[in-house]
Amino acid sequence: MNKLRVLVLMHEDLVPPESIKGLSAKEVAPYKSEYDVSTGLENLGHEVRKLGVSSDLGVLRNCITEWNPDITFNLLEEFHGVAVYDQHVVGYLELMRKPYTGCNPRGLLLAHDKALTKQILSYHRIRVPDFAVFPQSKVVSRPKRLKFPLLVKSVSEEGSVGISQASVVHNEEKLAERVAFIHQQTMTDAIAEEFIEGRELYVGLIGNDRLEVFPVWEMFFHKMPEDVVRIATEKVKWDHEYQKKHGIETGPATNLEAPAAESISRLCKRVYRALSLSGYARMDLRLTPEGQVYVLEANPNPNLEYGEDFSESAEKAGISYEKLLSRIVSLGLAYKAPWQWGG
């Protein structure tokens, strides 16, 4: 690939230092993906500028008009502290007619709404948990068809925010309590879903029209006590001590026969297209003991940290980290935004 000017767009608080030498893993953790992506792009020979943004679009506009980057590598996950505003920043780049990496605004909008996602997927006859949304200002009233146990979470937050063992509820009282907790803690509406017992699977995909699916990944709970629910809580996802203690790790899914892996791969492509995703994404699935696959959610622009699930599963498919970044940049350049249609 030619040498490009790449603007790496990230949150103001997560702009990494030039070097992380001498820093502990804990110190580096918050901005590790920003560091890995920027360094990877530099290693590919690109001219890289890191730009931190949090609530001022002027900073982005100035950088683009003054420096004229060939592409913006989008790592920004919120604006004004609001997660669902990420789509507007990408929309702004489209309005400026500038290429960017990752998902388009429509895909971000559909996939970041866990209720809308399931409504669309069920239209396509894709199996999803039954659910109900509990808006912030309304009294909790469970539709009778929705049976316990239920899992209560935010309808739009990511990264297991607000998810713990207490998220699985078995009666009306606990449901109301947990919904109130989600409202308070995340300032978003809550969603209660039919709890799906089973294995936890993740699948990475890359592409705009032609899609490539990476090998199915699984979260293992090797030393989890029997009475603890095996779900990706906030602690399971982010607390290294807790992970060590309970033997929590992710890797290629085991004992998945080829036909099962193939049908999961086809399913994930259908989900990607149904939600108008582009660039790259990761699907979160549950596989029941009866062999049924449920789609929990789609994650556009998943974590690109080196050694994390998405890049590890790409590696397993023979795509090195730098090759992965390079592919993501090429897909961003090739993506045809609406302003390019018919042209």
Contact range with ligand ADP by CB under 6 A, out of 11-19, 74-82, 188-196, 334-342: 188-196
How many CA atoms lie less than 13 Å away from 330 in the CB half-sphere?
A: 12
Question: Within 124-143, which residues bind ligand ADP (CB under 6 A)?
Answer: 129
CA 329, distance to chain mean position in Å, is: 18
* Residue 300: other Cβ atoms inside 10 A: 25
Residue 308: contacted member of ligand ADP, Mg ion, none (CB under 5 to 8 Å, by partner type):
none
Can you give the binding site for Mg ion, defined by CB under 5 A?
Answer: 284
Please say which residue, 151 or 328, places its beta carbon nearer to ligand ADP.
151
Cα–Cα dist 33/37, whole Å: 6
- How far apart, in whole angstroms, are the C-alpha atoms of residue 310 and residue 308? 6
Q: Shortest distance, CB of residue 141 to Mg ion, whole angstroms?
A: 27
Q: Is 158 in the site for ligand ADP (CB under 6 A)?
A: yes
Using CB under 6 A as the binding rule, whether residue 98 contacts ligand ADP is answered as no
Residue 159 in the binding site for ligand ADP (CB under 6 A): yes
Q: Does 108 bind ligand ADP (CB under 6 A)?
A: no
- State which of residues 35, 73, 195, 272 lies at the interface with ligand ADP (CB under 6 A): 195
Among 34, 86, 193, 309, binds ligand ADP (CB under 6 A): 193
**What 3-state class would DSSP assign to 109?**
helix
HEC string of 125-168 equals CCCCCCEEEECCCCCCCCCCCCCCCEEEEECCCCCCCCCCHHHE
Q: Which of residues 280-299 bind ligand ADP (CB under 6 A)?
A: 284, 286, 296-297
The residues in 54-83 that bind ligand ADP, with binding defined as CB under 6 A, are: none
Q: Is 189 in the site for ligand ADP (CB under 6 A)?
A: no
Looking at the Cβ atoms of 75 and 283, the one nearer to ligand ADP is 283
Q: Among 5-13, 58-66, 74-82, 159-167, which window interacts with ligand ADP (CB under 6 A)? A: 159-167
- For Mg ion, which residue has the nearest CB? 284
Using CB under 6 A, pick the residue from 51, 76, 126, 232 that binds ligand ADP: 232
Q: How far is the CB of 297 from Mg ion (least distance, A)?
A: 5
How would you class 109 by CB atoms within 10 Å of its CB: exposed for 0-12, middle for 13-18, buried for 19 or more? Answer: buried
Q: Which amino acid is at 162?
A: G
Q: Which is nearer to ligand ADP, 40 or 129 (CB)?
A: 129
Question: 284: which strand partners?
Answer: 202, 297
> Which residue number, 303 or 330, has a Cβ lying nearer to ligand ADP?
303
Nearer to ligand ADP, 67 or 238 (CB): 238
**Residue 196's binding partner, choosing from Mg ion, ligand ADP, none, with beta-carbon cut-off 5 to 8 A by kind?**
ligand ADP
Sorted by sequence, the CB contacts under 8 Å of residue 183 that are 6+ apart come out as 134, 136, 189, 190
Residue among 11 and 327 whose Cβ is closer to ligand ADP = 11
Residue 243, CA distances (Å) to 151, 217, 219, 264, 282 in order = 22, 17, 11, 27, 21
* Bridge partner list, 286: 200, 294
> Considering only residues 6, 93, 231, 319, which one is a binding residue for ligand ADP as defined by CB under 6 A?
231
SS3 44: coil
Phi, psi of 235 (to 5 degrees): -65, -45
* C-alpha angle 278-273-162 in degrees, rounded to nearest 5: 75
> Where along the sequence are the contacts to ligand ADP (CB under 6 A)?
129, 151, 153, 158-161, 163, 193-196, 200, 231-232, 284, 286, 296-297
